[in-house]
């Protein structure tokens, strides 16, 4: 009994099935990890109160006007944080990120009681520039474990227009 010619597509088909099975296993492992660390219906725990993002006067180190979501490139702006709602047993930092995810301001790391004097946190103009870059700026207050951020306790996004 002679064997017939072998179909070359059959090997490729089995290889694609194997890759598909591995991809589904990776997807299920990622979903299980997400559900383990971010369970549904469970409150996030500690959050920080960010009072707002305001225009900022760098000479007096004070905020001006109402809470805003958009600024011009020449505006100075700062976030105001109320550290009193956080337990003193955690380490936190507050950081401004520009549109390219560069750090352009912040305070910390430290315990909330150590940062209580730093309630106004300005976004600085990137080094070598005269104005802020246009785009979205993110202000995030993060809880640290060691020197690594492990949880975002609060976030504000503002837009710097062209």
Tell me if 2 is assigned to some domain. Answer: no
* pLDDT value of residue 147: 87
Tell me if 106 is assigned to some domain. Answer: yes
* pLDDT value of residue 2: 63
Q: Are residues 62 and 113 in the same domain?
A: yes
We report the CATH number of the domain holding residue 122 as: 2.60.40
Q: Are residues 82 and 118 in the same domain?
A: yes
109 — phi, psi (to 5°)?
A: -75, 155
| 8 A C-beta contact, residue 144 and residue 124 | no
Compute the distance between CA of residue 23 and CA of residue 9 in angstroms, rounded to an integer: 21
Handedness of CA 39, 32, 147, 126 (dihedral sign): negative
* pLDDT value of residue 38: 72
Task: Give the ranges where the chain is alpha helix by DSSP (H).
Answer: 8-37
Q: Are residues 53 and 38 in the same domain?
A: no
How many structural domains compose the chain?
A: 2
Q: Are residues 94 and 76 in the same domain?
A: yes
Q: Are residues 66 and 117 in the same domain?
A: yes
Tell me if 150 is assigned to some domain. Answer: yes
Q: pLDDT by residue for the chain (162 residues), tens digit each?
A: 666 677 878 889 999 999 999 999 999 999 999 888 777 766 667 889 999 999 999 999 999 999 999 999 999 999 999 999 999 999 999 999 999 999 999 998 999 999 999 999 999 998 889 999 999 999 999 999 888 898 899 999 999 998
Q: Are residues 107 and 32 in the same domain?
A: no
Tell me which residue range forms the domain holding 94: 49-160
Q: Are residues 54 and 87 in the same domain?
A: yes
Compute the distance between CA of residue 52 and CA of residue 35 in angstroms, rounded to an integer: 31
Tell me if 116 is assigned to some domain. Answer: yes
Tell me if 136 is assigned to some domain. Answer: yes
Tell me if 1 is assigned to some domain. Answer: no
Tell me if 37 is assigned to some domain. Answer: yes
Pairing of strands 148-160, 70-71: parallel
Q: Are residues 33 and 92 in the same domain?
A: no
Q: Are residues 154 and 98 in the same domain?
A: yes
Model-wide pTM > 0.95: no
């Amino acid at each position: 009994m002679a064997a017939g010619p072998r179909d070359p597509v059959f090997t490729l088909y089995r290889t694609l099935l194997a890759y598909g099975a591995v991809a589904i296993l990776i997807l299920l492992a990622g979903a299980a990890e997400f559900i383990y660390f971010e369970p549904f219906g469970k409150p996030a725990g500690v959050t920080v109160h960010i009072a707002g993002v305001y225009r900022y006067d760098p000479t007096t180190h004070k905020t001006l006007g109402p809470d805003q979501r958009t600024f011009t490139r020449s505006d100075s702006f700062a976030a105001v944080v109320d550290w009193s709602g956080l337990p003193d047993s955690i380490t936190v930092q507050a950081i401004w990120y520009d549109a390219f995810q560069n750090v352009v301001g912040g305070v910390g790391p430290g315990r909330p009681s150590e940062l209580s004097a730093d309630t106004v946190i300005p976004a600085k103009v990137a080094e070598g520039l005269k104005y802020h870059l246009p785009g979205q700026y993110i202000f995030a207050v993060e809880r640290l474990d060691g020197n690594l951020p492990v949880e975002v306790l609060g976030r504000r996004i503002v837009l710097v227009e062209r």
